[in-house]
Amino acid sequence: MAAKRYRKQGCCPDQGVTLLLAHGTGFHKELWEPTLETLFSLRNGRDPPTNVREAWALDWQSHGDSAVLNASALKARREGLTIADWAHAIVAFLRSPHIAGQRLVAIGHSAGATALMYTTKLLPPEHLPYAGIILVEAPLIDRDVFEKNRKRQQMTIKAVQKAATSRRDVWSSKEQALEWLRSRRPWSTWDARVLALYGEYGMCQAPGAPPGFVSTKCDKMEEANNYGDVENTYEATEQIERVCERVPIHVIFGEHVDMTCVYFGDCGT
């Protein structure tokens, strides 16, 4: 699993919190950079413990730089990677010396939020490493609520899977890719900085294509498979009620609900 470390110059290495960032399906770690730029600018000299000392952004094993590193292994797999697979990789990172002894705040967007909640299943409940968890547009839903809304949920999953698999994914250059993306949703709604980062870090040489042709680092079939990973989503959702007694959890939804059906209040958590 690829990880990238961010630290502001002049920060105190012994004070403040470390952010652990997990992206959504089809995205990659660098898309957090505009958010981090804002967070680092909010440094409060009067209360160093609340400052962000550094951040680590992670790539799911089938996304971003991880997908490039794991290309051969991914090609050899018959089944796609799951939320649980990513959670296991995150736990391995948590146990590494890179962040040992640091006060961690975990922030996940979409599938990244699900993966971070799933990590709490794999860790001792009395020794969770998180000082706080922030879930951004989390597609979390428990089994009962899914079943009550099965038809709508299945239609949503099938629609996004079809959109992913039928989407164009090879262009003659990064410039052509960005031009194509800018004219289509959801990319046309993105902050210009995020779209530029998607073009810069989310593309690679297209396999089997002439030099200079690019495709997304995350294979579109892998992305489509991720949308259907409901069993692991159930398990991650169930963790919220258990974990919130020990760790504060903050949930953020966008002003416009683009894809996730918000049944959060019905989930009993």
Tens-place pLDDT, residues 206-240: 998 999 999 999 999 999 988 888 889 999 999 99
The torsion of the CA quartet 145, 121, 25, 65, rounded to 10 degrees, works out to 180
pLDDT of residue 268: 46
Higher pLDDT, 124 or 260: 124
Question: What integer pLDDT is reported at residue 101 of this predicted model?
Answer: 85
Q: What is the mean pLDDT of residues 190-209?
A: 94
Give the 3-state secondary structure of residue 207.
coil
- What is the C-alpha separation between 206 and 77, in angstroms, rounded? 20
Sign of CA dihedral 253, 256, 259, 263: positive
Strand partners, 57: 4, 21
Q: Which residues contact 114 (CB under 8 A, 6 or more apart)?
A: 83, 108, 138, 139, 140, 232, 233, 236, 237
- Where in the chain are the domains? 3-148+230-266
- Reported as a single tens digit per residue, the pLDDT across 77-96 is 878 899 999 999 999 999 99
Residue of higher predicted confidence among 9 and 243 = 243
As a CATH number, domain 3-148+230-266 is 3.40.50.1820
Closest CA to 83 of 262, 220, 236: 236
